[in-house]
């Protein structure tokens, strides 16, 4: 597809999304808010998991931390929510940057398991710190109509997609793709890979936390098991892989498809939705290893080999 | 480098390696399979750490620096088993190296164009790394290394698997580089290449340097021929030479 077609498509999708609340159908708006939320989350996962090739299983930590920090600052310290939200986003980004330094030394499965443990540990800490709401969580004042949250989530999703587009077309994006291809080779051309990976992880954390602070206000009640649910990370990952990891539109497309399918299944039975998710994962792995938008290139040397050891 | 040693577990791969390279010269590094040549490149490039000894670049000690810092000093290597960026196009592969090397804007693009021309890769600029043929990947590795403006280039069998015409072209490129003042350490099994371009040859055998000198002199040493061809062959040849017949013509 040419650039112009891509821009036109992007404009049409955003316009349609902006006009959606005209329907005034509360149910529809609620579903669309959820889809926009997951489009943003999946895009945030894509930065580290898709572009950089580090499959994180713990990104829900940033979402949860953003929600909890914003709620704690506004409820306990009576900060205006916008200030609390900013601090929470910055704090989560810093958290990602600092934790990225040790975690991103690990590769492949080890990285995945370590990030999973990170998310669980973060939840454990939050559950045991009263200032962060402990096991009880927080109730926040009910605020405005559903439309506001729809626009907020949509705004973050558009920001995430636009940011991904800019990154992919920048040197920083090339650096991330180089790291994904071959980390030792990237170092050998002078790339400070630790810094680049940690930056990608921190950006991913910032986006995740932005979604989290809006989510807390939208739901007006949050507790650790909800905002640190590992299932949220699984959704981000599956949506991205289904749509096309490393692409701009892939995570959004994945969020829309899975979001719509889940709603359809839910109208039949609650259990059907998890069954559908399971089948979706299997279908992606089996039939679409590169995702719907992943261009299938008949690679001369066969499929890309896994991560290569850090040695010549 | 001084008294450098390296072992993997109990296996002593390099022992007591000391040498220094003259600026602007081409040094050939030869030795049988498993002699430790690639390991030496890994140590100099920072991909592996020596167990003993010290490595200096000018007066700066580099054996504890991260790989990317060493590369930015201008100490640039290629890999025996090609490592290119599959998800980037050929041009992006080279451009990335130029960018980390400090080039920006028009200067960067001009430099990338020049390098692609030198390595005869212009027609492949938009091809993703994964779709390049092996000889193209080898040339791309060299091109990418050049984009970093290397002061010292470590080339680990960049010419293996090339056909004679490609080989001549590669040798020509190295000569151009030498004329630009790039110091090179060239690992190659093909004696024709080593003899043709080296100012000096180092011979590595079972982890130790067994010879060091001008190419013609080094290949004449019987211990070098022994390492390469086996003791029996050398003895036979010496008997033959005593009987007045010909000599060895490389390998
Ligand atoms: N990471 C490693 N772990 C254990 N042993 C290793 C490792 N890397 C290399 N070796 C061993 O070190 C020895 C030297 O290997 P090296 O690759 O340096 O040889 P080489 O001279 O480059 O050979 P070739 O001409 O085949 O490329 C070999 O015996 C090899 O098996
Ligand atoms: Mg080797």
Read off the pLDDT of residues A140-187 as tens digits, 9 standing for 90 and up.
888 777 889 999 999 999 999 999 999 999 999 999 999 999 999 999
3-state secondary structure of B6: strand
For residue B36, give the ligand 1 atom closest to its CA: 18
For residue B39, give the ligand 1 atom closest to its CA: 18
Q: Which of B83, B90, B149, B154 to mutate to test the interface with A (most CBs of A within 10 A)?
A: B83
3-state secondary structure of A247: coil
Q: Does B98 touch chain A (CB under 8 A)?
A: no
Any ligand 1 atom below 6 A from CB of B214 = no
The structure tokens listed for A162 are: 């636009």
Check residue B20 and give its pLDDT. 87
A contacts of B130 (beta carbons < 8 Å): 297, 299-301, 304
A contacts of B104 (beta carbons < 8 Å): none
Check residue A296 and give its pLDDT. 43
Q: Which of B76, B82, B87 to mutate to test the interface with A (most CBs of A within 10 A)?
A: B87
The confidence band for A34, taking pLDDT boundaries of 50, 70 and 90, is very high
The confidence band for B3, taking pLDDT boundaries of 50, 70 and 90, is low
Q: Please state which of the ranges A32-41, A243-252, A273-282, B169-178 shows the lowest mean pLDDT.
A: A273-282
What average pLDDT does the structure give for chain A?
Answer: 88
Question: Minimal CA–CA distance to A40: which of A218, A175, A161?
Answer: A161
SS (H, E, C) B42-68: HHHHCCCCCCEEECEECCEECCCCCHH
- The end-to-end CA distance of chain A, in Å, is 38
CA B167 to chain centroid: 14
The confidence band for B235, taking pLDDT boundaries of 50, 70 and 90, is low
In a domain, A208, yes or no: yes
In a domain, A134, yes or no: yes
Ligand 1 atom 2, closest CA: B8
**Cα distance between residue A36 and residue A40, in whole Å:** 6
Question: Minimal CA–CA distance to B14: which of B1, B24, B4?
Answer: B4
The confidence band for A206, taking pLDDT boundaries of 50, 70 and 90, is very high
Helix (H) or strand (E) holding B128: none
Residue A250's φ and ψ, nearest 5 degrees, are -50, -55
Ligand 1 atom 3, closest CA: B8
Ligand 1 atom 26, closest CA: B33
3-state secondary structure of B183: strand
Tell if the CB–CB gap between A177 and B101 is shorter than 8 Å: no
Mean pLDDT for A300-312 is 42
B contacts of A177 (beta carbons < 8 Å): 85, 87-88
Whether the predicted pLDDT of B14 surpasses 90? no
The structure tokens listed for A113 are: 């398991």
B contacts of A171 (beta carbons < 8 Å): 96, 99
Output A282 or B98, whichever has higher pLDDT.
B98
Mean pLDDT for B2-19 is 76
**Cα distance between residue A165 and residue A158, in whole Å:** 10
Check residue B246 and give its pLDDT. 38
In a domain, A271, yes or no: no
Mean pLDDT for A205-232 is 95
Q: Please state which of the ranges A46-50, A141-145, A244-248, B63-67 shows the lowest mean pLDDT.
A: A141-145
Residues B93 and B144: beta-carbon distance below 8 Å:
yes
- The percent of residues in chain B predicted with pLDDT above 90, rounded, is 42
> In residues, how long is chain B?
251
Mean pLDDT for A189-214 is 96
The structure tokens listed for A134 are: 């402990």
Count other Cβ atoms within 10 Å, centred on residue A54. Answer: 26
Mean pLDDT for B109-138 is 91
What crossing angle do the helices spanning A81-103 and A193-219 adopt, rounded to 10°? 150
Count other Cβ atoms within 10 Å, centred on residue A290. Answer: 18
Domain region containing A165: 26-228
CA B48 to ligand 1 center in whole angstroms: 12
Instruction: Kindly indicate whether the ipTM for this predicted assembly is greater than 0.90, answering yes or no.
Output: no
Q: How many structural domains compose chain A?
A: 1
Mean pLDDT for B113-127 is 91
Mean pLDDT for A16-44 is 89
- Domains of chain B are 4-242 (3.40.50.300)
What average pLDDT does the structure give for chain B?
Answer: 85
Check residue A302 and give its pLDDT. 36
Whether the predicted pLDDT of A87 surpasses 80? yes
Chain B nearest C-alpha distance from A244 (Å): 14
For residue B204, give the ligand 1 atom closest to its CA: 21
Whether the predicted pLDDT of B231 surpasses 90? no
How many angstroms separate the Cα of B172 from the Cα of each of A27, A106, B9, B82, B176?
Answer: 71, 42, 41, 21, 6
Residues B170 and B178: beta-carbon distance below 8 Å:
no
Whether the predicted pLDDT of A304 surpasses 50? no
Tell if the CB–CB gap between A188 and B100 is shorter than 8 Å: no
């Amino acid at each position: 597809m040419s650039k112009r077609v891509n821009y036109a498509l992007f404009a049409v999708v955003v316009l349609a999304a902006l006009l959606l609340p005209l329907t005034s159908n509360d149910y529809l708006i609620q579903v669309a808010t959820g889809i926009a939320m997951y489009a943003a989350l999946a895009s945030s996962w894509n930065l580290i998991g898709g572009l950089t090739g580090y499959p994180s299983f713990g990104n829900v930590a940033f979402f949860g931390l953003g929600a909890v920090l914003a709620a704690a600052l506004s409820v306990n310290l009576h900060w205006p929510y916008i200030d609390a939200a900013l601090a929470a986003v910055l704090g989560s980004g810093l958290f990602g940057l600092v934790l990225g330094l040790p975690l991103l030394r690990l590769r492949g499965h080890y990285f995945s398991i370590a990030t999973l443990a990170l998310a669980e540990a973060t939840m454990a800490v939050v559950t045991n710190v009263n200032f962060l709401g402990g096991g009880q969580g927080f109730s926040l004042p009910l605020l405005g109509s559903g439309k506001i949250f729809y626009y907020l989530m949509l705004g973050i999703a558009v920001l995430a997609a636009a940011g991904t587009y800019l990154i992919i077309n920048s040197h920083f994006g090339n650096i991330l793709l180089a790291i994904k291809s071959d980390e030792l080779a990237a170092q050998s051309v002078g790339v400070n890979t630790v810094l680049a990976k940690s930056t990608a992880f921190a950006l991913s954390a910032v986006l995740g936390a932005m979604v989290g602070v809006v989510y807390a206000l939208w739901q007006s009640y949050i507790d650790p098991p909800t905002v640190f649910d590992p299932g949220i990370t699984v959704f981000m990952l599956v949506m991205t892989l289904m749509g096309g990891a490393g692409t701009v539109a892939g995570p959004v497309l994945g969020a829309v498809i899975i979001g719509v399918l889940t709603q359809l299944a839910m109208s039949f039975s609650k259990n059907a939705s998890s069954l559908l998710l399971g089948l979706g994962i299997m279908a992606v792995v089996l039939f679409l290893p590169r995702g719907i938008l992943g261009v299938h290139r008949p690679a001369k040397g066969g499929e890309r080999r896994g991560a290569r050891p850090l040695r010549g | 480098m001084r008294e450098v040693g390296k072992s993997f577990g109990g296996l002593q791969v390099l022992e007591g390696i000391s040498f220094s390279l003259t600026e602007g010269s081409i040094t050939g590094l030869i030795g049988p399979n498993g002699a430790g040549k690639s390991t030496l490149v890994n140590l100099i490039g920072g991909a592996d750490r020596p167990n003993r000894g010290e490595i200096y670049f000018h007066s700066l000690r580099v054996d504890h620096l991260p790989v990317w810092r060493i590369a930015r000093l201008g100490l640039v290597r290629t890999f025996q088993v090609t490592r290119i960026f599959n998800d980037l196009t050929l041009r992006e592969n080279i451009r990335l190296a130029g960018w980390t090397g400090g080039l920006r804007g028009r200067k960067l693009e001009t430099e990338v164009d020049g390098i692609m021309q030198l390595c005869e890769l212009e027609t492949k600029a938009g091809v993703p790394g994964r779709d390049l043929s092996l000889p193209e990947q080898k040339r791309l590795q060299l091109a990418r290394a050049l984009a970093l403006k290397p002061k010292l280039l470590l080339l680990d069998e960049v010419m293996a698997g090339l056909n004679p015409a490609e080989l001549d072209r590669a040798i020509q490129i190295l000569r151009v580089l030498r004329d630009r003042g790039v110091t090179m350490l060239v690992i190659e099994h093909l004696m024709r290449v080593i003899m043709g371009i080296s100012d000096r040859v180092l011979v590595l055998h079972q982890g130790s340097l067994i010879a060091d000198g001008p190419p013609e002199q080094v290949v004449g040493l019987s211990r070098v021929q022994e390492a390469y061809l086996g003791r029996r062959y050398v003895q036979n040849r010496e008997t033959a030479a005593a009987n007045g017949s010909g000599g060895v013509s490389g390998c």
